[in-house]
Structure 1
């Protein structure tokens, strides 16, 4: 088994990563919260008094609900669950590494199995050189997303909170907890953290000159007018690549958010499909969401790893001629 970091380094790694995600989530949540309040106030001013409210709809709200505010700092139900997930991972890491043994057993064996399996898996994709520098991020993001996805499926998440009775039953207005990745603020925060890491890794591996060359320089050997034409073509392609790179955080965040959000709404719809027996109807879909939680964690990790490999790969040297 590959040796794991010490107690302090493991805890510090998970805690720092969780702290960055939480701080970014809070900032984005604050901005969206302020904007949404402004929009709602403006809409309320233009609405006619005689308008009647539309029938209430069941389902997960599109944005996280603010359940508390600390010195003008909004605390949403998805943030609370993200803290629970982060603290749970820190506690488990501390418990598993509190008494390291040469022959691992129990929690230490399970943690080493996860870390070694992920390390070998990532090394086979992006290479041993790059994985030694970036593994801390890819392992953390995979474990965090997987834990958050599965913890969001625990009965009571999203169904316990404050609400009011309606003609269709009791409606939860403010769930105490909400699936972490069912909040676009959280997924976008993780994508922004990756984007910052991606820039750092790219400049460390190939430098500023290599970074620009990788985007805009023509590939292959050409001379004369063809070289000028290829330079123009690759410069235009590089501009399109820059646009694609800038949109990667958006695509990464909305892919994860959309799948998790749709899955939670699907489960709620199945529960309400057959009154009294909805829980039975939802069981197959529940196991499907367990699998989907694993798939989405893998997809996020693999996409970020491939994006990193594409920008950090060094130009291969031409093979030497074989003399016969």
Structure 2
């Protein structure tokens, strides 16, 4: 018994050491008892400021007949509404348009910031600036937000009866249905993080090898891939919310 306790303590200590392993260098800011990646916050604030500026310019002088920037903003709103409407349903989608739109625009802005702006030219004491979605903490936070959103949507619509979905169509599937809720945020976060990281690495390698012409088409391809990743993340988020609202039994 004593030896088993020692082995358990050693195993726990090993996991603690593994969880403290860092990949790459970061600019750390101390907030209370926590250390955060400062370079992620810097670019995140810049992305949010850019999005707010575009929204302000596009809506500061609204007219009955839209022109120029207002026309673009209305087209963008219709596009985002269609994402929510197609995945959540015509009767429930309006309440979730702000969330789906915010997720799409933030990820798109973050991805494009990493693909278009040469952050590596800006020297930091430690680490380097990059797209916020290039940090696994950001993508996991976004995925967890979606998880909380569809649990909230399901409980708000169906009450405690929402949990009956875990034993449908048969109680035998209970472990699989529970595991599915854990794999959803993992899939969302790692897909986004992996694609953004891979795109930035490819552009960096091509820039080092052939610094004049070759990186340009790769960057254009990266912009397209970044847009697709924002669309996939927001569409899947809306789909999960729609599934939670509809109910597992009705969805089947």
TM-score of the two chains, using structure 2 as the length reference = 0.83
Structure 1 residue runs without a partner (length 5+)? 1-33, 41-61, 164-172, 219-233, 317-324
CA shift at 1:215, angstroms? 1.9
**Residue 124, structure 1, aligned to residue 86, structure 2:** yes
SS in 2 for 1:74: strand
Q: 1:306, 1:240 → 2: CA distance?
A: 19
Contact 1:190 1:253 in 2 (8 A): yes
Q: 2:113, 2:139 → 1: CA distance?
A: 16
SS in 2 for 1:92: helix
SS in 1 for 2:178: helix
**Residue 153, structure 1, aligned to residue 86, structure 2:** no
Matching residue of 1:235: 171
Q: 2:165, 2:20 → 1: CA distance?
A: 44
- For the aligned residue pairs, the C-alpha RMSD in angstroms reads 2.5
Matching residue of 2:159: 207
Matching residue of 2:224: 291
- Larger proportion of helix: 2
Contact 1:64 1:78 in 2 (8 A): no
CA shift at 1:162, angstroms? 4.1
Change beyond 3 A, Cα 1:180–1:114: same
Structure 2 residue runs without a partner (length 5+)? 1-15
Contact 1:64 1:178 in 2 (8 A): no
Contact 1:100 1:108 in 2 (8 A): yes
Contact 1:187 1:253 in 2 (8 A): yes
User: Higher relative CO (CA 8 A, sep ≥ 6), structure 1 or 2?
Assistant: 2
Matching residue of 2:207: 271
Aligned residues: 233
Matching residue of 2:8: none
Q: 2:181, 2:120 → 1: CA distance?
A: 34
SS in 1 for 2:224: helix
**Residue 194, structure 1, aligned to residue 169, structure 2:** no
SS in 2 for 1:128: coil
Q: 1:64, 1:298 → 2: CA distance?
A: 30
SS in 2 for 1:301: helix
Matching residue of 1:136: 98
TM-score of the two chains, using structure 1 as the length reference = 0.66
Change beyond 3 A, Cα 1:75–1:98: same
Matching residue of 1:29: none
Q: Which of structures 1 and 2 has the bigger CA Rg?
A: 1
User: 1:140-186 CA deviation, whole Å, 9 max, x = no partner?
Assistant: 101111111111112322342148xxxxxxxxx632x2111110000
